[in-house]
Chains A and B, each alone.
Chain A
Amino acid sequence: MMRTILIFLILALLAPTASAADVTAVPAGVSTEAVKAFRRGLELHKAKQWALAIPEYERAIELGGRFPEAFNNLAYCYRKMGRIEKAIELYRIAIQLRPTFPQAHDYLARAHLAKGDKAAALSEYEIVRRLDSKLAHCLKEAIARNDPDYNDMPWNASSSGVASSSAA
């Protein structure tokens, strides 16, 4: 009996864990107001209205939504507006909150590339290739071309997990 319970417990723990979160996910426990602000930010983000998306993401964070997706997406908007240093700072917070967040590492590499720091981009690539091979492939091409925006995963890209399904 004891052995059966033990085997069951071990198998339950060995069950595959959820895959890496996409950039639209909101973890449980975040306040409703923060989620609403984050979703508004996502809609503006999808429409590439970076300057309008930023205050919504910032509001989500102020309202207690200190989750990696919020910092990652906020950083993305800053990067697209050319504020690379600010973007790098925010990507680092996203990575601190979830060290194995592939998109944040990918975007951080691109931010380093935009800054002209190819060595730092390659060092981030070493992390991305261990977390998400498809993202890593795209990033490698971007680094090879020295173009941070090359294959910068668009919304609805199926390979990146940057799905819009949960954004609605």
Chain B
Amino acid sequence: MEREQLWRRIVIGGVAGRGRIATGVLPRAALLVIRLAPAIVFLAHGYLKLLGGHDDRTVALFLTVDIPFAEPVAWLIGALELAGGLALLSGILLRPFALLLAAEMAVAIGLVRLPQGFIGAWEFELVLLLVCLGLALWPTGQGSALRRQISP
């Protein structure tokens, strides 16, 4: 409970309540917006990888950076992004998927983006990584759109 209150003071309280524990519509809406940003990105990229004709491009990328079993891994990554996007959007299985997506972004930075520089390259993956990591660390229940209550 103390941990939960600390989170609220840091994250929600700082935004809406000047250190007081914030409840009500605003914190929930803010959290929804934070989840929505990576959800849209991952849904779009997952869709493109699985169904939108970018499967070959993804396999080519994986072959270029020497990822073994490039074709099945490309399919898995597409599925992860699509399912992860849905999880971020709905709040169902939010934390495990947020953690997996954060890990994916860490690998993408390390294997692909790092040599390309920060500005215009791995800055975007870093934002996604940190947002997903934050959502993965969020106290159970509060990230979910299905949980309507933020208990006092």
Q: Is the CB of B40 within 8 A of A99?
A: no
Task: Name the B residues within 8 Å of A95 (CB-CB).
Answer: 64
Given that A100-B64, A131-B56 are contacting pairs, would A13 and B41 also be in contact in the complex, using a CB cutoff of 8 Å? yes
Q: Which of B14-57 contact A (CB under 8 A)?
A: 36, 40-41, 43-44, 47-48, 52, 56-57
Q: Identify whether the interface residues of B are mostly helix, strand, loop, or mixed.
A: helix
How far is A96 from B117 in the complex, measured between Cα atoms in Å? 11
Q: Does B65 count as interface, using CB distance less than 8 angstroms?
A: yes
Residues of A within 8 A of B (CB): 6, 9-10, 13-14, 29, 66, 95-100, 105, 123, 126-127, 130-131
> How many whole Å from A62's CB to the nearest CB in chain B?
16
How far is A98 from B52 in the complex, measured between Cα atoms in Å? 21
Residue on A nearest B47 in the bound complex, by CB: A14
Task: Name the B residues within 8 Å of A131 (CB-CB).
Answer: 56-57, 60
> How many whole Å from A75's CB to the nearest CB in chain B?
16
Q: Which of B57-106 contact A (CB under 8 A)?
A: 57, 59-61, 63-65
Residue on B nearest A123 in the bound complex, by CB: B63
Q: Does B151 count as interface, using CB distance less than 8 angstroms?
A: no
